[in-house]
Amino acid sequence: MPSKTLVDITPTIVWQNGRVKLIDQTKLPLEEEYINTDDYRIVCDAIYRLAIRGAPAIGVAGAYACVLAANEIQATELNDFIKQYLLKADKIGSTRPTAVNLMWAVKQMKEKATSFSGNVADLKIALLDLANEIRDD
């Protein structure tokens, strides 16, 4: 009976304690360096400069960037929050407008916000849940 070899594969993108951790693919294969941030602009920069590559990974990075953007919005009234969120989400999508998975993920995140009824805190949780679903798909 052949033995199975287990390989520890590091995920390209991880959500950890309110932060996004992603492999800087511009450093591969010589170095394994990570970008670890709670700032959506840094994730956008990683997408823009190809530090994150591959259509699915770019989509996941965009979804998590949307969560980070949502987390920095201080508005407590839902409509004000959504207005600010949509502007930030549009900026995330414009990082690489030809990236189909990025545009799709950002669209999903925007639709979640605009169709949500509840409070801002619950919407932020729902956005993280959706980003995790996008990652898991």
pLDDT tens, position by position, 86-124: 999 999 999 999 999 999 999 999 999 999 999 999 999
Question: Over 90: is that where the pLDDT of 38 sits?
Answer: yes
Q: Report the alpha-carbon distance of residue 11 to residue 131 in Å, rounded.
A: 15
> What average pLDDT does the segment 53-60 reach?
96
Compute the Cα dihedral for 78, 46, 16, 128 and give only its sign: positive
- First and final CA of the chain: distance in angstroms? 33
The half-sphere exposure of 101 on its side-chain side, counting CA atoms within 13 A, is: 18
| Model confidence band, residue 78 (pLDDT cutoffs 50, 70, 90) | very high
Q: How many of the other CB atoms lie within 10 Å of CB of 100?
A: 12
Q: The tokens of 131 are what?
A: 């980003």
Q: The tokens of 61 are what?
A: 């990075």
Tell me the Cα Rg of the chain: 16
Question: Over 60: is that where the pLDDT of 80 sits?
Answer: yes
Level-2 CATH architecture, domain 13-136: Up-down Bundle (1.20)
- What pLDDT was estimated at residue 9? 60
Q: Where are the domains of the chain?
A: 13-136
- CB neighbour list of residue 113: distance below 8 Å, 6 or more residues apart: 70, 82, 85, 86, 89, 123, 127
Residue 23, classed as helix, strand or coil, is: strand
